[in-house]
Structure 1
Amino acid sequence: MSSSGPGKVGWPTAVGGLLAVYLAGVLAIAIRPEDSNIATWWPAAGIGVILLALAPRRAWWLLVPGVGVVTAAANLTGGQETDFSLWLGVGNAVEVTVATLVLMHGRTRIPRLDSLRTFGRLVATALAGGVTIAMFVSTGSALLAGGDWVVTWRTVVTSHASAILVVVPLVMTPRAARSRVAVRAWEVPAQTITLTLATFAVFSPDQTLSIEFLPLPFLVWAALRFDMRTVSWELVGFSLVATYLSTRGHGPIGYDFSRGGLDSAQLSSVVHIYLLAATMLTLPLAIVVEQRTAALDQLSRSELLFRRNFTESLVGMLLLRRGEDTPFEIVDLNDSAARLLGGRGSAVGRGLAAYVDAREPLDLIQSRLVDGRLDGWKSQCGLKDRPGARLHLAVSLLTAEPEPTFSAQLQDISTEYEARRQLEAAEKLTSATLDTVAAMVLVTDLYGEVVRVNGATTALTGFDESELVGVEVWDLPFAPPGASGYPAGLPDGPFAQVGRESDVVTKSGVRYRVLWNTGYVRDERDRPTHVVLTGTDLTAERTAAGLNRHMLEAAASTAMIGIDPHGSITIFNTGAANLLGLDQQDQIGTPFLDLLDPAQVAERCPGATPAEQFEKLVAGLETGGESSARDWTWIGADGRPHTVSMTLSVAADTFAARVGYFCVGRDVTEARASQEMLVSALEKERLAVERMRRLDEAKNDFVSTVSHELRTPVTSIVGYTEILEDGDVVRPSPEQLPLLESIQRNGQRLIALCDDLLTLSGLDSGALRFERGAIDLSEIVRSTEEAVRPLLRNRDLEVGYLGSPEPVLVLGDRGQLERVLVNLVGNAIKFTEDGGRVDCRVSVHENEAWLEVSDTGIGIPLEEQAELFQRFFRSSTAQQRAIQGTGLGLSIVAAIVAAHGGRIDVRSAHLEGTTFTVRLPLARG
């Protein structure tokens, strides 16, 4: 359905539209009956619908509230109560929104009022708007003013529906006047004046006759003669006058109202039913007349066009009728047909058979066309008076009633016929040529549709000619998946040539690489007529070239340089470009020696001129041979030297002719520097290890000497202290006994420390020898229980020992293993607070003997357990609690266990106790 209107308004128009809504509302309230608080007619609703329909949807958020505000303001201006005015403002905003949505449903532009279907949409719009506002106003009147809901609803729905139905068509009519019978200049003023006089006559004061029908014939006059815009404006004017005069008590309706026969609500309903009837009579009639006039105009234009096409056509045109004696009697013909048939006057009235030589009987063709068994007939015929001439004849039936009439078209194709014969001969020559060409050849028309393929195409691709001819070049079946513009596209201009490589996938799935060349075929006037695509199979060549290129480009860290016999670079791969920071293309053609350090070249080629240096460099290379790798200094683009391990070899063709040289270089700068650094570092490490070994030996000697020297006097001190305690020399007083016990206790600690140091020194130097024998670990547990019993004196600890019912035999030194267990149990007792528990158990797990010592003591923090078996290490918990110790016991234990081929594990945490597990291999029986 056609539509009109710009679909958008500017802000000045929007403001003007809101002002029009306000003024229309004020006017409607001003002319309402004095005893009614509801306006009789509300044209502001129609203006609001027009405003929203012309505006874009994004502007509705401002225009819809604007309509509500100006409506409320108009009611306030007219004397309505504030709350009722606000209620009416909201209702009017919702009304115009609903009505506009119905009018514009599925459209972005206002529909043109050019069909009854559109008129039906307009009626639906009016009803939707009227019903919506009637619901609001009736409810507000009942709640706020105590009015009758039904009466108010009936009054409002008719007033607003008639307003929308009358006002909205003003923007639904086309701007330009429609094509109708010419309207005289006096007719519009005469009709307008007559309508005005009839309206005022009907609605004049004290006019009581029921002649409301009198203006309707004049509105019908407008609908029959004038354009839709004029009709719409006359309806608006007529509605305003009829409403105003009726509310003032004029005319038959107003007279009845003024005499009390009708109340204001009934007056409004009757007036607007009258306006709705006038509108429903006028607008559909105007639409139907509009459609009829448009159809007649179209028919007239079609007839005029046919006549012009008939007389001015360059093709021969004939009008024929069924003759009584001769088929296809000529009634009329144009100039082109007259020239073909030899004269206009002599041809009229004669049969078509007098001029053309048809292959089929014309009377049979005529009867079949009349009977409907043939829709049309076409044939190539000869002319009887022009030997060799050929015509293309087409005959069709125009009408069968009242008399069968035919049209015929004649086209002289003599030239084309002769050209076709020549083309057939050329085609035979072309076919013979194409079939002898080894390359693929495809011929297409100017639109890319394949018209010919040669035998080589079928042989290579496996597709028959029937599978390729008629297919557009972009959809050829041998194109690889995802190809576009295949195989080479069409030339951009009539003199352009296109060359491109692409893949061809045969019917059996084999892939070939083909070079396509595309060009135009031209006629004798140099105009393009066809496109020829020639494909050359490059599969083998491209495979070899691709492998070489891939090999060169893949070596991103290896320089590969081709050199011609004169020393100029012919190939410069990515690896060489990456190594030196040079552009690949810029290096082609430059001397190879420019890459090398000149001083080094001069040193290794003494006495040679620059022209002779390259010859000396490649001297001695045999065909197929390669020089040994040698380090050379290459200079990069930034001037930085690179140490490159370089080899040179001869490049020769299949006939062993030397065609150049091939250089392979690998950057070894970092490798050489790393080697030197590694040698230096190894030497430093060797010296450091040797020094550490000497220091370790000196340390061991020192510890051993000091331990021996300390142990002798400490042993004497302890011995003499025992003599003093026993009273063999002098009986000590009670005050002296604690002092003597302290001397003895500390002396024993020093002796134990010396023993530990001597043991560690012996372990490190290898001087400490272990006895090897089968030992039952359960017996060691029992001896340990006796050894640590003095440590439990004055302590509140539970100590448990659990041996194995079966002997647990290991191979080792009994004394050293007892020392391991005594140290572990002693540490557990020392680091477990009173009230705790210590357990010692022996068990067998697979091929290992386990000695486990666990306690509920202070534990060892997880982060310190990695240093637990280092010499002189003491945990932070032991230091904080000032628990005495040297930090040598666990290191001695770990050394003894390792010497027995076992290992020791610890499981502990801060304040969560500790478990040491010694794992020793079982002795083999």
Structure 2
Amino acid sequence: MTVPVLGRPRWWVSAFLAHVGIFVLGATAVRFAPPGSTVAVWWPAGGLAVSFALATGRSARAWIFIAGVVVSSGLANAYAGRPPLVAACFGFANAAETAVVHGLLTRERRRPTLASMDDLWRLLAATLAGALVFGLLAGLTVRLGLGGPFLATVYAVAASHAAAVLVFAPLGIAARSARGRRPSLEAVVQWVGVVGVTAWVFGAGQSLPLAFLPIPLLVWGALRLSLRTVAVQLLLVGVLAVVLTSLGGGPFAGAATLTGIRPETVGALTQAFLATAAVTTLALAVAATQRRTALGDLRSEVELTGVVLDTAASLIVVVGGEGRIERLNATAARLLGRPEPALVGRLAADVFPVADREAVASRMSRIAEGAVPLGEEQDWHVEGLGVRRIVWTNSYLTDGQGRRTHLVKTGVDVTDERASRAFIETVLEAATATVIVGLDLEGRITLFNPGAENVLGHRAEDVVGHHDWTLLHDWSQVEGHAAELGIEPGLDVLVHRVREGASADTRDWAYVRRDGQRRTVSLTVSGIRGDGGHLTGYLAVGEDVTHRRQAEVALQVALERERQAVEELTELDRTKSDFVSSVSHELRTPLASVLGYSEMLEDGAAGPLTDRQLELVARVDRNGRRLLSLIEDLLFNSRIESGRLDLATLRCDLRPVLTQAWHAVESVTQERDLARELDLPASPLWVEGDPAALERMAMNLLTNAVKFTPDGGRVALAARRGDGDVRLVVSDSGIGIERAEHERVFARFYRTSVANERAIQGSGLGLSIVRAIVEGHGGSVDVESEPDAGATFTVILPAADLEMRADPTSGMDSDEPATKSRFAPYGEVQNQSETRDGPD
């Protein structure tokens, strides 16, 4: 659909100039009308209007231009002296003629062309229809407005307008065609001949027999030049003929002078000349254009055919009736090892690298008799490639009488294909442990490899083409699956997912061997599809997994037994933990009584004691407190194992907690030759935690540091606030820990190899309790140590709100010491030579 662009300045200027031309040509034609005639003998203004409208195409602009023809043509008639009403009617008639021609040539949204004889006939029909419309309207106008004859006017103006449209319209149609190349010498000579001969023929004093002399020159241009050039020459000849005839020159005006015929007859003769020249020239131009187009298409088709032949993967050889090669493609020439020109014209039997040349020569010499079969195979011995197997498809070309004239051989090299087929067959034969079965759409077996024979126990010759695939299955299993799917037992049970569009379906199937044994096969069924994507069959590939499935069942049974054993062990461990907890509770009460009485004895409640007695009572107290600490560790560990580590968290300052833990071991460190370093900041270290649990965590770390550091060493405790956390560091210069044991030291009851070697006593629970307390507060603990290089334990705890300096519920302030631990007091740590605990 053409979208009008009404605002394009270039078109408006062209349309204005066209209307000016219509006005000038119309006024001139009326002025030069023969004396006593009511109409002009030629109306170039009408031809110009039609030509411009056709050049515009089918759009709103064309109809705007046609509407303007009423004005420009009417003004031309009025300027030439006709009454206003008559001038307006003539203007309307000219516009009606233009509209009819334009509408007929642009029907169905098509742009007018002159590419075929149908287009020419369409132009002639439209021209005749437009001329008749104008003739009828002009005849009525002359009869009613000027009192002139109706029929004579119709005849005269219809002929004059038809001639004008035939001369002008081709230029409008060819206006959008491609411009020709640069004029050749032939074109220049033809142009000079057309213009010169036309001017000479229609000059003064020429006789009537010379009237049609310009037409052969127009025919020359029609056969050799472009349609645009022909249209321009036709218009130029028409203008020269009319103008010179109007001025009294040319054979038609000369004949009128000699014979005294009327001026209207001179006009009719001129119009007949123009119509003859236009029809003859245009018909030959269209035919020549069609011929050039057809030759171009044929040349392109020949070139395309050559390209297709040369790029085809198949061998194509055209052999003449005498057995000689007349054409072959690049593939055949490449396989023959010579270029095409060196092979064309030679006998095919001499060129083809076959063993039996005489048989080939005999068949090729009798092509006219149809001696060559339509299908054949040949072995070509090609140098460098060995023997190539060529499969030929032959066809004959015949003449009009049905005689065979040529043989077209189309060959395919199937050597690699046969090798591939042989390779596939070898693979199928070698797959002796894999089931490979081919099925058609009905479920009949088409392929049964040796692997299927070995696994399923049937011979291929007994089942291929005879047995239904489902007969090899355990039928009860097939029926069970069919009931689950809601379908009838049969092939659909095996392939229903593939038929629904799945690429493959894998599952286990039970098969019954020929000897009655049951085998479990993991089978994958996939579809075999043709070129159009439709199913042509099925391929089943399976593996015997009978022993594997039995092993899996046995493994599942073993796993179930192991699971039950784990549950029993878990229950035993829970019973053990409950026993330890119960015993620890039972031991704590009498132990507390022992410690109480020992304190009373030390205080002299039973009378004064000697130094030796005081020393013995002190030992009882110290070892009792060690035993009480061990019981507390066991109880704490029991709570950890049972998941009942209840922490009474509150906002507290960590400094008093650490100070309390430091003082708890201070008496022991004072008796030892150890350097002690306590580094706490001046500002509070706020955390959300259980002060008693945190104190126990710090005491366990400090106790280990003192226990594993010989005299002369160093023990340090430091705490700092980090980026959103609080860091507690306990370090020593003791015996250290192997790097491989860093993670294991936090396990329950674990003792390092160095502790075992040096017989340092301990329960192995201290560090596991440290980790449980730290992780219970959302923190982490880590160790860095090397043998004989000391150990550094770093605890990271989440920091509390920095703006809170004290929690009113905690009973602690940053300026006061922490409250006493809820845990029982730890026993004093003895000299390393007296008490040797293991690593906690």
> TM-score of the superposition, structure 1-length normalised?
0.43
User: Relative contact order (alpha carbons < 8 A, sep ≥ 6): 1 or 2 greater?
Assistant: 2
| TM-score (ref. length: structure 2) | 0.47
